[in-house]
Structure 1
């Protein structure tokens, strides 16, 4: 896979005292959607500023599309898209005037820019209204439109669904999938962990400037070895005591279902046992540790190690 972003042993120190990032190393690849996860102050915003070339690392090396983003190379800037957490536009301008301004900065044809309004869910009438009349969600959509100018190869999105209703959030992630399928690298920084579970192919967790976990959800679940929950609904007349395992008890969850917590290493043997047609199960569901669970686990492990 083609590497689009390379971060090597990057440390960023402010005021000679505070290390916002410490020896951070990772690569991002073409056609990859990556979730960047961490508490406020973990270093996410500093990392995005480094990738945009707004600041330089104290030590280490940052490369975007093979170039130093702080070098001022317009070719790199043109194919970078960025949506900040809090978008801010001139309130007297219309949405169309605002997008035209950014299109000129990026040297993008305005005709292609106009098509972005429909793509992000802004109507033609809304595009010609002053931004002061926009709701928060509409401003967020306009911010996304400016981030998409010029068909960026690397897209940096900071809390991109803030202010969007559920339908527009689904539309947003459909758009992200289209960009990824077209070869773009998408970095999503978000606190909405539940949204990211099925939408990011990879998760990078940062804490106090350190990368403490990096991989797919399956990778992180395997590393964390957190227990899974197995939920079953017995056939009529059956009781889960009949398929208890290793002395563990099934706990009722209501509506005739029962759950058991199973260690990661015991999950497959348990599922094999329960799949026997003679066991008497009507339905079976495996509930894996969520991204919230994994995030808490890796943070707690890091804290315990320091």
Structure 2
């Protein structure tokens, strides 16, 4: 399958500062990828390089088979971009703003207005953008990014200021685009949100790519413990402590439960023990390492290296 984005040995310097350092990856169609990292990790710089807003110091960028740094970047009409900091002409109405972007992308005004309705701004479409709240401006930014059903969608902190209902609606739209073959690159500090949405995660730190893979792949690499939570019917009896004696790294929680940190090699044996016929357990929950924990692990590993 041909990649929609192909980045090879990419370096971007701003004076003496290297914002991106020898980064390589490809993004295929029909995939949602999370790009995570602290402020200054290089995430926004990567997106701007893909858009052709800035040019590489070294290495190459190909987007939809074209070089974004070229003077005639025809593929730009097939890109959607939502920047972290949105700025619109505050004197224009929502209708005038989305119509302006629709003309830039050569899209019908009617389809642009339908997007305004879908992001929940229909009631304010004829108000000046200067009267919009931060969340409303974010909705308008989402609508312009989604114009023309882009083949590559670059989203930098896309759900900032959105209420839970609109956040769900936004991800529904994103999933439709992905299922239709679009490439979605999501950058956000809301790692729990990304964990539920992204099929793959790229972790950046100080301009360096420190990890790249699915959550399962990253968990296998990191080898972090899985939390196993057990619930018992009554206050923990002494007999339960005897039953738990063969298990290391367990602790009582809330008086009616036990939490175990299970190393990957021990997880199955502990689960068998916990679900055996003599186990004083009413219920259990298995919690694999979260994206927050994986992110912290890979950053620590890089710092220690």
Q: TM-score range by the shorter chain?
A: over 0.9
| Conservation of the 8 A alpha-carbon contact between 2:247 and 2:270 | no
Separation in structure 1 between the aligned mates of residue 277 and residue 283 of structure 2, nearest angstrom:
11
Separation in structure 2 between the aligned mates of residue 32 and residue 244 of structure 1, nearest angstrom:
43
| Conservation of the 8 A alpha-carbon contact between 2:253 and 2:259 | yes
Separation in structure 2 between the aligned mates of residue 175 and residue 63 of structure 1, nearest angstrom:
26
Pairwise CA RMSD: 1.6
CA deviations over 1:218-244 (Å, ceiling 9, x no partner): 111111111111110124587432431
| Conservation of the 8 A alpha-carbon contact between 1:205 and 1:212 | yes
CA deviations over 1:121-165 (Å, ceiling 9, x no partner): 212x31111111111111000000000111100000000011111
Separation in structure 1 between the aligned mates of residue 84 and residue 196 of structure 2, nearest angstrom:
22
Count of matched residue positions in the alignment of Structure 1 and Structure 2: 303
Moved more, 276-285 or 196-205: 276-285
Q: 1:183 aligns with which of 181, 184, 190?
A: 181
Report the equivalent of 1:227. 225
Report the secondary structure of 2:252's partner residue. Answer: strand
Report the equivalent of 1:156. 154
Tell me the TM-score normalised to structure 1 length.
0.95
The list of structure 1 runs, each at least 4 consecutive aligned residues, that deviate by more than 4 angstroms after superposition, is 235-239
Report the equivalent of 1:128. 126
Separation in structure 2 between the aligned mates of residue 238 and residue 45 of structure 1, nearest angstrom:
51
Report the secondary structure of 1:281's partner residue. Answer: coil
| Structure 1 unaligned blocks of 5 or more | none
1:88-107 matches, cutoff 5 A: 88-107=87-106
CA deviations over 1:31-74 (Å, ceiling 9, x no partner): 11111001111111110110001111111110001110121445
Q: 2:166 aligns with which of 165, 168, 171?
A: 168
| Structure 2 unaligned blocks of 5 or more | none
Report the secondary structure of 1:69's partner residue. Answer: coil
Report the equivalent of 1:293. 293
Report the equivalent of 1:53. 52
Report the equivalent of 1:35. 34
Separation in structure 1 between the aligned mates of residue 271 and residue 254 of structure 2, nearest angstrom:
21
Report the equivalent of 2:252. 252
